Structures are given as C-alpha cells and as structure tokens.
Chains A and B, each alone.
Chain A
Amino acid sequence: MPGTESMAALLRVEKISKRFGGIAALNDVSLVIESGEIHGLIGPNGAGKTTLFNIITGLYTPTHGNLDFKCCSLLGMKPHQVLKLGIARTFQNIRLFANMTALENVMVGRHARSHAGMLGAVIRNAATRAEEAAIQRRSRELLELVGIDRHRHALAKHLSYGDQRRLEIARALATDPALLALDEPAAGMNPTERETLKDLIVSLRDRLGLSLLVIEHDVKFIMAMCDHISVLNFGEKIADGTPQQVRNSPAVIEAYLGAEVA
C-alpha cells in the first residue's frame, strides 16, 4: 500500500474548528498530507497543534469541518476505528504501558491486526498459536528496526528516555499504519540523539513508504527532515509550504522563530 500512489492526498483536513467551552482552540484549519511525505506541524505553545493531532486521531470531535483519510471521512470515528483505517500515533508525554515489557507493548500494537478471541485464547488451537507466533515475530522485527530489541524483556518504564520514545514508535508501527503521527518525538533529547531519531524517521519514509506528521519545536530538526511544513498560531494556520518558504515567511518569524533564527 505505501508509496504506490506517490504525491496523492492521503489525509485531507478541511476547515476544522474546535472549541473548548467558549475558547476556540482551532479556527478553520485546512491542510493536506500527501502520500509518502514527512509533514511538519510547528507553532508557539498553545497554538493548537496537539488539538489538531487529537482530532485527526479521533480523540476529539471537531466542532466544524471535515477530515478525509484515503477514501472515507474520519468524522465521528473512535480512536480505535481511526487506527484500523491506518493512522497511528505517539504521544507528547510518552504513554507506554509502563508495567508491560517492551515486547508486550509492541504486541499490543498488533491487536487491531489480529483476531484471536476468547475461545481461541482458552483452547489455544493451531490458528491461535500461529497468529500468536506471527505477532511475536513481527514485534521482534519492529523492535530491531528501532534498535531496542536487546531490551525486549525490560519493563517499558525501565527503559531510558530515548528508548521509550523509540518503543512508542515501534508500537505505533505494529499497527501497520499508512500515516504515522509523532507528537514532539525529539523533546528532551540532546542534539546527538535527535540526529539518530531524524535518521530513523527518514528511513521510515524511505524504507517503509510511510507518510508522517510530526510536531516539533526544534526548528533545525524539523527543517532538515520535512518535505512540507504547516505553521499554526492562535488556532489558525499562518503558513504552509516547503521548509524554505516557511523559514522566510514574515508571519512565522514574528510569531514563532524570532528575528535572529531566521
């Protein structure tokens, strides 16, 4: 599925607004994520980035607007349904299953792509055993891909910070997404660690043909990696374009970057 229809719209966000009580968190935001691109989402704190994220992944329902993913509208879908369609995510404040092992975390990610039910679990027939083995195999592969296979039996909460971020990505990948949404994946990492992460993200696109949506504050990090960047400020989109276009946008400089960075 990935990469075949290059440069076709994968996710179309149309005039999304979201209000909490009386406060508008998002106002008429539209953007398009193409198949196979890394799309950056930046903006000052409180600009509505995470809110948009939560709307795309089904955690919030927008007040107005529409979302189209591949063929269908995502409106009214629950997170688990959105995931089933192929959008997976990570969380700003890492949300792993802290008391499960790294391997178990990734195996949970395979839930939506496997079927064994109650009866299978109890009688453990051939089909269930085969499925279980496949889940394990795939999970190991993903742990290897993100480079933490050696920690597979450690509890998630015992992993180092960087490894937790990587595990979260592996868990999301286990759901076979077409679009992977990363919420501040580099937060709390030093430049060297960021560099490694950037390589991983780029390789996900290049090797697996994934599309990615990334929120990040580190301008250097995001500019170096993204094909396309959207900028939010006070709930509105103030810029949209290639990294170069965005970097030179006066509105972005004023609201976000500050004069000397640009």
Chain B
Amino acid sequence: MDIFVQQIINGLVLGSVYALVALGYTMVYGILELINFAHGEVTMIGAMVSLTVISALVGVGVDLPGVVIVLLGLLAAIPVCMGVGFTIERLAYRPLRNAPRLAPLITAIGVSIVLQNIAMLIWGRQYISFPPILPQGRHQILGATITDVQIAILVASVVLMLGLTLMVKKSRLGRAMRATAQSPQIAGLMGVNANTVISLTFILGSALAAVAGVMVSAYYGLAHYYMGFLLGLKAFSAAVLGGIGNLAGAVLGGLLLGVIESLGAGYIGGLTGGVLGSNYQDVFAFFILILVLMFRPSGLLGERVGERA
C-alpha cells in the first residue's frame, strides 16, 4: 500500500512540474491558438538565469537562508523570461498573425533552436548543478516519503493555477484576454488593444515558465541547455490532455500525466506479467492520452466544439 501511495505522490510532484509549464502553453494557445514550441526553452532560460544568480550568491558566501537565495534567483529569472517572451512574440509571431496556420509553428521551432544555442554559447555544454541550499526535510504520509521541495512544488502549482484562473475569470484584463481570444477585431471595438493583451499574455506565460524552470532545476538539482525540449513536449501533451486553452485543464492534464507515468513505470511489469517493463512507461502514457482523446476529442476539460452546420 505504501508503495502505491508513494507512486501517487511521485506522480503528483512530477505532474505539478508538467502542470506549471503546461499553464504557459495553454495561456498562449488560448489567446492565439498557437503552439508556442519555444515555451520549453523559456523555461530553460529561467532555470539557467536563476541558477547563475544563485550560484553567484552562494559563491560569494552570502549569508541568507536557502529559500531566500532561491527566491532571489527567481526574481532575477522572471524579468529575463518576460523579456524573452515579449521579444519572441514581437519578432517571430506577431508578423505572422495573418499567415497560414503552420507558419508560426516553424518560426516557433526556429526560436526554440536559437534559444537553445544561445544558451549553449552563454552557459556552455555542461550540465549545471544546483547548489544544495534548500531545506531537505522529509515527511511521512501513509508510509510514503515526501520532501519539503516536493510539497513546495505541489503547492506552487495549485496556487498559481488558482491565481491565474481567478485573474482570467474575474479581472478586467482576464476578460479582455478571453474576449481577444475569441475575436481580436470585436475586442478592438470594445476598446481593447489586442496587441497589448497578446503581449501581456506572453509576458505572463513566460513569468510562469521562469517559476517552472526554477522549480524544476531546484528539484532535480540540475539544468542544461537542452532541458527545455523534453519538458516542453511533456507539458504540451499535458495541456492537450486537459484540453488546450483551459487553465484548469492544463493542471489536471499535468497531474494526470505525472500520475499515469508514475503508475505506468511502477506497475506495467506486474500488469503484463513481466513482458513489458518500465521501458514502456511512455508508451503507456501516450496510450492513455490517445484513449482519452478518442473519447473526448477536445481533451478532458476542453470545450466541445460542437459541429455546426
């Protein structure tokens, strides 16, 4: 039993990481219907910047609690990522607003390659390790272990999701975002400057990416210029699973994907009598994803786009 609980906890934590990145994907998608393939790379930049600051602070021997140092790193990463997000939208996506649908996808891939290689030039090809400055407290729940960092990640993703949802549902900006998502022209008639709203969405999504980047690197203890690709891919899958464009869906999709992967890795062997092992955990995850989409073609919480004649 404690193994099962542990697997669920493992999955939830992994899923929260996916969820944090997926939130950024989904926000941008919601407003532009664009898969911002470079989002994973923005996360990577966030991780790299915060790590540089944290390492520098640790290096000069600043006498502050670990949590404060990490927060300082985060504070440095957020504006950088916001700037990166703003620039990407301005240079690579905005000029293609009215172009064929797949054109921005290609620039997104281009941006992704460019960001990776710039990061490689700046931070080198090595893996960068995260200084062990965070509290390492462990707690027991139902026979399973959970650490302080894991709890922090879980809490952060839920809080950020709630905050974002509240912002999008209740605030004037959130309403403008949703209106722009539906029709930038009509929103313009209401006095909404669609370009500003879209820029703000990218900036907000990138800030989220920065938070995600810092958490990922703090949790796993490492960062690398290539880390964004896989993370982005998983987060994108999570966003789609939940119903892309839907904030709660992104979090649900993320958590679910994490739990599926975790249970898959843990139980595939037993379920298949040892024929398949944890090497098929991604097969299992994709299989569930495909199954869900077969029955709910717009994701779990996605809007059913009823076919209108």
Q: Is the interface of B mostly helix, strand, loop or mixed?
A: loop
Point out the residues of chain B lying under 8 angstroms from A91, CB to CB. Answer: 309
Q: Say yes or no: is B63 at the interface (Cβ < 8 Å to chain A).
A: no
A183 at interface (Cβ–Cβ under 8 A)?
A: yes
A30 at the interface (CB under 8 A from B): no
Q: Tell me if A54 is interfacial: C-beta within 8 Å of chain B.
A: yes
CA distance A92 to B309 in the complex (A): 7
Task: Provide the bound-state CA to CA distance between A146 and B309, in Å.
Answer: 23
Chain B positions 288 through 309: 1 when the CB is less than 8 Å from some CB of chain A, otherwise 0 = 0000000000000000000111
Q: A59 on the interface (CB 8 Å rule)?
A: yes
B70 CB, min distance to chain A CBs, angstroms: 48
CB contacts (< 8 Å) of A93 on chain B: these are 308
User: Looking at chain A, what size class is its interface with the partner chain?
Assistant: under 10
Q: Is the interface of A mostly helix, strand, loop or mixed?
A: loop
Please name all residues of chain A whose beta carbon is closer than 8 Å to the beta carbon of B307 when the two chains form the complex. 59
Total contacting residues, chain B, CB less than 8 A: 3
A53 at the interface (CB under 8 A from B): yes
A50–B309 CA distance with the chains assembled, in angstroms: 8
- B93-114: CB near A (< 8 Å → 1, else 0) gives 0000000000000000000000
Per the 8 Å Cβ criterion, residues 147-186 of A in contact with B are 183
> What is the chain A residue whose CB lies nearest that of B307?
A59
B305 to chain A, nearest CB (A): 14
Instruction: Please report the C-alpha to C-alpha distance between residue A93 and residue B308 in the assembled complex, in whole angstroms.
Output: 10
A-side contacts of B308, CB under 8 Å:
93
Q: Within the assembled complex, what's the spacing in Å between the Cα atoms of A91 and B308?
A: 10
Interface hits, A75-101 → B, CB 8 Å: 91-93
- Which chain B residues lie closer than 8 Å to A50 at the CB level? 309
Nearest A-chain residue to B308, judged by Cβ: A93
> What's the Cα separation between A91 and B182 when bound, in Å?
23
Closest A residue by C-beta to B309: A54
Within 8 A of B (CB), among A33-55: 50, 53-54
Neighbouring A residues of B309 by C-beta, 8 Å:
50, 53-54, 57, 59, 91-92, 183
Cα distance, A183 to B308, chains bound together (Å)? 13
What residues of chain B lie closer than 8 Å to A92, measured between beta carbons?
A: 309
| Bound CA span A57–B309, Å | 10
Cα(A57)–Cα(B307), bound, Å = 14
**What residues of B have a CB within 8 angstroms of the CB of A57 in the complex?**
309
Name the residue on B nearest A20 (C-beta): B306
Q: Which residues of B contact A54 (CB under 8 A)?
A: 309
Which chain B residues lie closer than 8 Å to A59 at the CB level? Answer: 307, 309
Bound Cα distance from A91 to B307, whole angstroms = 13
Q: Which of B255-309 contact A (CB under 8 A)?
A: 307-309
Residue ID in chain B nearest A93 by CB atoms: B308
Q: Per-residue 0/1 for B177-191: is the Cβ within 8 Å of any A Cβ (1 yes, 0 no)?
A: 000000000000000
Instruction: Please give the residue numbers on chain B whose beta carbons come within 8 Å of chain A beta carbons, in ascending order.
Output: 307-309
Given contacts A50-B309, A53-B309, A93-B308, 7 further A-B contacts (CB under 8 A): A54-B309, A57-B309, A59-B307, A59-B309, A91-B309, A92-B309, A183-B309
A selection of 10 A-B contacts at a CB cut-off of 8 Å is: A50-B309, A53-B309, A54-B309, A57-B309, A59-B307, A59-B309, A91-B309, A92-B309, A93-B308, A183-B309
Q: Which 5 A-B pairs rank lowest in CB-CB distance, beginning with the nearest?
A: A54-B309, A59-B309, A91-B309, A50-B309, A53-B309
